[in-house]
Chain A
Amino acid sequence: MKIKLPNHRDQHWRDTIKDLLHNANTGWIDLDCGEWSLTYTDLQDLMAEVEQSGRRLDSLISNVPDTVVSARAFGLEARLQRTAPICSGDLMHTDPPTKESSTPSTGVMFHQGTLRSGDYLHSDRSILVYGDVNPGATVTACGDILVWGRLRGVAHAGAKGSTQARIIALQLRPLQLRIADAVARGPDDLPQPGLAEQASLRNGVIRIDPAEVLSLQPG
């Protein structure tokens, strides 16, 4: 059974969660958190409500990375979904058409803030991280990965096999780089300061060069 939290501009989820749960079938629940950015504490309250109603949370999807990170911290199975609406029969018919649905997705997912050890970020498009990617964190994207900060974790661009994908960072010193099916360890020496670098795939080998101006291609 799938439940969708109300649009955050219309109603607060705390006001409607009881009714939503009441109307749902008993048993396992897949929760769609939409645009809600839920902290660990919010999720704790939410889970308490779910449990109180005698139902169990099976998995969670959200458009907001923060919510996914909180949910994973909780040990829940959580997935980030693209902002563009998915047309599936599962969605409730009462779902009001939102403004976002008419605007096309830009092709880039934006994440602001540092990704710390253990964090995991994935997008079916390209990703722009405004912040550092620390050792132990992983970023994967079907398109390009851009880090406006230091990339020191693991990055996988072209996760679905696009060999054109690139990884660009202000400081590119990752533990490991992957583009499509190729894998490379990050360089050991410190880079020249003030020089943004990019990794790309050439003849099946990942190469690092000074970053060049490019037009982004959605993955």
Chain B
Amino acid sequence: MSTTRTILICSGKGGVGKTTTTANLGIALARLGARTVVLDADFGLRNLDLLLGLENRIVFTAQEVLAETCRLEQALVKHKQEPNLALLPAGNPRMLEWLTPKDMKAIVSLLEEQFDYVLIDCPAGIEDGFKNAAAAAREAVVVTTPEVAAVRDADRVIGLLNTQGVTPVQLVLNRVRPKMMSIQEMLSVDDVTDILALPLLGLVFEDEQVIVSTNRGEPLTLGESGSPAAKAYNNIARRLQGEDIPLMDPSEARKGFRARVRRLMQTRLF
């Protein structure tokens, strides 16, 4: 019986940060010493390789592995700086119809022999792409943002995951803006967890550094940067490993920032 944890990272709605979360979690887990592989199941519009800066190293995909035209080791792309992390693209954007849930299961069971964590980056939507990706997963992380549409879609996805016996399903609330939450212009953390009724694995604050790092192909968790998002992803990785780390409090974050500014002003003035 393998102890590998196969985690589906999904959201329903597009653009909420599935791929960013997968990339950052992958790096964070690898840095904690876990042998980790990220499987890009969003092969129609694949861009996990872009975020990891591995686009130019892909030669084979899982498709060739299953067709036995190459070995698994040849298809796995090792990360440049983080040798514990490997990327496996599930398929080629040109071949849209080949994958079946059975294929996904076959790929994942191959990966489970070698890795501690298999993170599956799920495509948006709830159609075939999602069903394929979900077929192979044992547990799931649902990524959502504090927006009505994202929460609604996440709810739908959670319902579907429940019918497939994927458990546990945990929640990552992404792109939180403490300032907007404090003046109630954004759904609060409680609003979201109230509807979804899932354990909260982490809060990630909106962070411009994410955009910079995405464009560079270097996930935030790779560097020693103290950016809030990097901290959040590292915390999520450690919570996944079973550590008990308190969640960030959006109102505290805001107070902290204000207090810091006030302190700064005081030192200048007096």
A residues with a Cβ closer than 8 A to B are 39-41, 44, 66, 69-70, 73, 113-119, 132, 134-136, 152
Q: Do the beta carbons of B163 and A118 come within 8 Å of each other?
A: no
Cβ-neighbour of A118 out of B135, B159, B164, B195 (below 8 A):
B159
Given A44-B135, A116-B158, CB of A134 within 8 Å of CB of B195:
yes
Q: Do the beta carbons of B165 and A41 come within 8 Å of each other?
A: yes
Give Cα A70 to B161, complex, Å: 10
Give Cα A132 to B198, complex, Å: 13
B residues with a Cβ closer than 8 A to A are 101, 135, 152-153, 155-156, 158-160, 162-165, 195, 197
Give Cα A135 to B165, complex, Å: 22
Give Cα A44 to B195, complex, Å: 29
Q: List the 5 closest pairs (A to B, CB-CB), nearest first.
A: A116-B159, A117-B155, A40-B164, A117-B156, A70-B163
Give Cα A66 to B159, complex, Å: 11
Cβ-neighbour of B163 out of A40, A114, A117, A134 (below 8 A):
A40
B-chain residues with CB within 8 Å of residue A116 when the two chains form the complex: 155-156, 158-159, 162
Return 26 A-B CB contacts under 8 Å, by A number: A39-B164, A40-B163, A41-B164, A41-B165, A69-B159, A69-B163, A70-B163, A70-B164, A73-B159, A73-B160, A73-B163, A115-B159, A116-B156, A116-B162, A117-B152, A118-B156, A118-B159, A118-B160, A119-B159, A134-B155, A134-B195, A135-B155, A135-B195, A136-B152, A136-B155, A152-B195
CB distance from B134 to the nearest CB of A (A): 8
CB distance from B5 to the nearest CB of A (A): 19
A-chain residues with CB within 8 Å of residue B165 when the two chains form the complex: 39-41
Most buried by A among B135, B158, B162, B163: B163
Give Cα A117 to B155, complex, Å: 6
A-chain residues with CB within 8 Å of residue B160 when the two chains form the complex: 40, 73, 118
Give Cα A69 to B163, complex, Å: 7
Most buried by B among A41, A114, A115, A117: A117
A-chain residues with CB within 8 Å of residue B197 when the two chains form the complex: 114, 132
Give Cα A142 to B206, complex, Å: 47
CB distance from A20 to the nearest CB of B (A): 23
CB distance from A83 to the nearest CB of B (A): 21
Most buried by B among A41, A69, A113, A116: A116
A-chain residues with CB within 8 Å of residue B101 when the two chains form the complex: 44
Give Cα A136 to B156, complex, Å: 8
- Known A69-B163, A117-B159; 7 more pairs at CB < 8 Å: A40-B160, A40-B165, A73-B160, A73-B163, A115-B159, A118-B155, A132-B197
A-chain residues with CB within 8 Å of residue B156 when the two chains form the complex: 116-118, 136
Most buried by A among B153, B156, B159: B159
Give Cα A116 to B158, complex, Å: 8
B-chain residues with CB within 8 Å of residue A73 when the two chains form the complex: 159-160, 163
Give Cα A115 to B156, complex, Å: 9
B-chain residues with CB within 8 Å of residue A152 when the two chains form the complex: 195
CB distance from A180 to the nearest CB of B (A): 28
Give Cα A186 to B152, complex, Å: 18
CB distance from A41 to the nearest CB of B (A): 6
